[in-house]
Amino acid sequence: MVCYSPKFIRKAYDVPSSLDGSGQTIVIVDAFGSPTIRDDLAIFDAQFRLPAPSFTIFCGNSPTPFDESTCPTVNYANNNPHGEFGWGFETSLDVEWAHAIAPGANIVLVVASTNSGNAINDAETAAIAAFPGAVFSQSFGIPEIFCKTQANNCQLGQAQTNYANGVAKGDTFFASTGDTGATFGFSTPMGNFPASDIHNTGVSGTEGLPYLAPGTLTPCTTPTPFSCTTGLAAFHGPCPIGRTTTPLCVPDGYGNEQVWNEPIFGAATGGAQSLLIGVPSYQAGLGLSSRGPDVAYNAAVDGGVLTVFSGFGFPALFFTGGTSAGSPQWAGITALANQARASAGKGPIGDLNPVLYSIYHSARYHNDFHDITVGNNQLAGTPVGYAATPGYDLATGLGTPDASQLIVDLVAA
């Protein structure tokens, strides 16, 4: 199995070391939270030599949201229907990897009292009011079929009002497109809300190219730079098997990527046209009949990121994949861009999608993005998926970032 530390991910996506997100706020939205998140983050930082962040837990549904004691009590045994254990793991992934990309940013964990009904929307309403100009990460969503048949499961109008109010305050919103292919196991392709909202940047998934299947690793023994690859990352040795976790292995940069589709784990990236939302103006001319996803990021399980979680009663490092990993890391990159914009006397970037698509239609596109052209997101056993193609496609949107190059254009916007 391949796994990546922050050093490898930052090098692969060309995250600039000259920026750390200082003065910016990343808001992580999750239900239930985690009783061990502060300890997990501290262990993660110590393991990977990251500075301790400014970290706030915001109890979004409480009359006193800055009082952590008013957050819900987590019950990891309560997995039907709420899956509190899974939300705890999600919390560690989101907080740790937003911090890994923007280690100087203020991290705010917004804890919704439940993942049902209005709780998340109400928590976000409070957070939008409290943190203007922030970057929001939402590593969750609901397949749109449930919004069509059971509208109360989405509270679509309230959510869309939140996002419109947020971008008016200079907020940026990211959301994950999902991990079960273009159809989520149904017969019809669909989007994942809120990634399909026009004010959210929908983040789909990639994996390394070549994809090194479990059990296929070999040592990297030559010290020549760029002589070895794990797909996403290029590096040099000498490195034994298990190579990317040893200090002998030095990351050199980007390798290559394809659409995230791992049948061995029963997972593939979401990415399809929306059942609910028409083509926004910034996606005009792409051949779409309704809203599609926007960008992509590494989501592989074999090729995943290392995350500290103590939900089993002790802290441990886990391989973590899924489009959940991309949303907080894109939020981190945007916090770096907002820091650079502040240094240039500009405000936060706010509604990001119009800027991203203006880059796509410019000569700078191939400087700022890795255009993914290999693979598809048809989950095994489902009827429909979409192939990656040159330029925009439904599986990976515009592609994955070259962060240093992209930030130049986000500052100029």
Cβ contact 26:102 at 8 Å:
yes
Residue 116's pLDDT is what? 76
For the chain, which ranges sit under pLDDT 70?
A: 78-82, 117, 149-153, 217-219, 222-226, 240-248
| pLDDT on residue 134 | 98
CB 301 within 8 A of CB 319: yes
Measured at the CA of 90, the angle between CA 77 and CA 102, to 5 degrees, comes to 150
Q: What is the pLDDT of residue 84?
A: 87
pLDDT of residue 347: 97
- Please give the CATH topology (third level) of the domain spanning 15-208+259-412: Rossmann fold (3.40.50)
- 27: Cα separation from own chain's centroid: 13
Q: Return the SS3 of 283.
A: helix
Q: 3-state DSSP helix/strand/coil percent for the chain, to nearest 5?
A: 30, 20, 50
pLDDT of residue 55: 97
Parallel, antiparallel, or unpaired for β 257-259 and 25-31? Answer: unpaired
The residues, any chain, with a CB within 8 Å of residue 173's CB and separated by 6 or more, are 136, 138, 163, 166, 167, 194, 197, 199, 200, 201
Q: Output the pLDDT for position 15.
A: 98
Alpha-carbon radius of gyration of the chain: 20
Sign of CA dihedral 361, 289, 178, 168: positive
- Strands 200-208 and 304-309, bridge-based pairing: unpaired
Distance (Å, whole) CA 24 – CA 17: 16
Q: Where are the domains of the chain?
A: 15-208+259-412, 210-255
**Would you state the pLDDT for residue 213?**
82
Kindly report the pTM of this predicted structure: 0.96
